[in-house]
């Protein structure tokens, strides 16, 4: 059965994302360093960020709120009054960073679009994701845009139903094993893992062993040959 729907992640699959979060985290560390004698700022922020996902979801705004909470937890009453303002400024820079496409993305999308409908399936803040998609110049290549709060098996089943394909006719490609690959496979689709050089630990998971509908690839363009072989 041929592939009729190709679902694609956005952040760190089509354009750089994690490196901007890394730069913002470095700014956070500089702000709290004078009050972090125990060296717990990184672990504190990681724990708070994960804890807050169920409240704030994913994205730059959630990360900014978590940075503020972590700074106050690390520094307590010693944290200077301008610390929150500096963290907010770092968060605004994160929201406003330019969109930098990964190498070869436009050509790969054009080739994939010749083979099946393309649907963007990404999670995070609605406004920020829409803004990045508009800035990327890629929007017209997609027949559908799905910005979701999280990705799980039910999410992918809803996407497949909405776009009138069976799971066996769909393929998901993305950088996150936890959010892109495992739930798509569980929903019955094909899945191509394209790891990014700077993965977020929260999105990492063990890859499936000898799964017939799974491939680990180096770049999005390699999905083309895989689809042609199916």
Closest to 124 measured CA to CA, from 91, 87, 149: 149
Euclidean distance between CA atoms 117 and 146, whole angstroms: 13
- pLDDT tens digits, 88-135: 999 999 999 999 999 999 999 999 999 999 999 999 889 999 999 999
For a pLDDT cut of 70, what percent of the chain falls above it?
100
Domains located in the chain, CATH noted: 5-16+100-229 (3.40.50.1000), 18-95 (1.10.150.240)
- pLDDT tens digits, 164-211: 999 999 999 999 999 999 999 999 999 999 998 777 777 878 889 889
Q: pTM of the prediction?
A: 0.91
Euclidean distance between CA atoms 179 and 122, whole angstroms: 10
For a pLDDT cut of 90, what percent of the chain falls above it?
84
3-state secondary structure of 171: strand
- Residue 202 has what pLDDT? 78
3-state secondary structure of 39: coil
Euclidean distance between CA atoms 195 and 84, whole angstroms: 34
């Amino acid at each position: 059965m041929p592939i009729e729907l190709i679902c694609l992640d956005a952040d760190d699959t089509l354009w750089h994302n994690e490196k901007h979060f890394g730069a913002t985290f470095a700014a956070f560390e500089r702000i709290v360093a004078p009050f972090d004698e125990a060296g717990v700022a990184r672990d504190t922020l990681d724990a708070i960020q994960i804890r807050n996902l169920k409240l704030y979801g994913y994205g730059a705004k959630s990360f900014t709120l978590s940075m503020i909470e972590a700074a106050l937890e690390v520094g307590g009453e010693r944290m200077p009054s301008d610390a929150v303002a500096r963290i907010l400024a770092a968060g605004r820079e994160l929201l406003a960073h330019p969109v930098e496409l990964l190498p070869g993305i436009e050509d790969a999308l054009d080739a994939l679009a010749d083979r099946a409908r393309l649907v963007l399936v990404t999670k995070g803040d609605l406004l920020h994701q829409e803004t990045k998609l508009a800035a990327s110049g890629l929007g017209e290549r997609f027949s559908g845009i799905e910005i979701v709060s999280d990705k799980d098996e039910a999410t992918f089943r809803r996407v497949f139903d909405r776009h009138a394909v069976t799971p066996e006719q769909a393929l998901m490609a993305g950088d996150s094993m936890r959010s892109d690959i495992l739930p798509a496979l569980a929903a019955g689709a094909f899945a191509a893992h394209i790891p990014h050089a700077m993965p977020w630990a929260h999105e990492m998971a063990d890859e499936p062993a000898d799964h017939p509908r799974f491939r680990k690839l180096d770049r999005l363009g390699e999905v083309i040959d895989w689809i042609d072989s199916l």
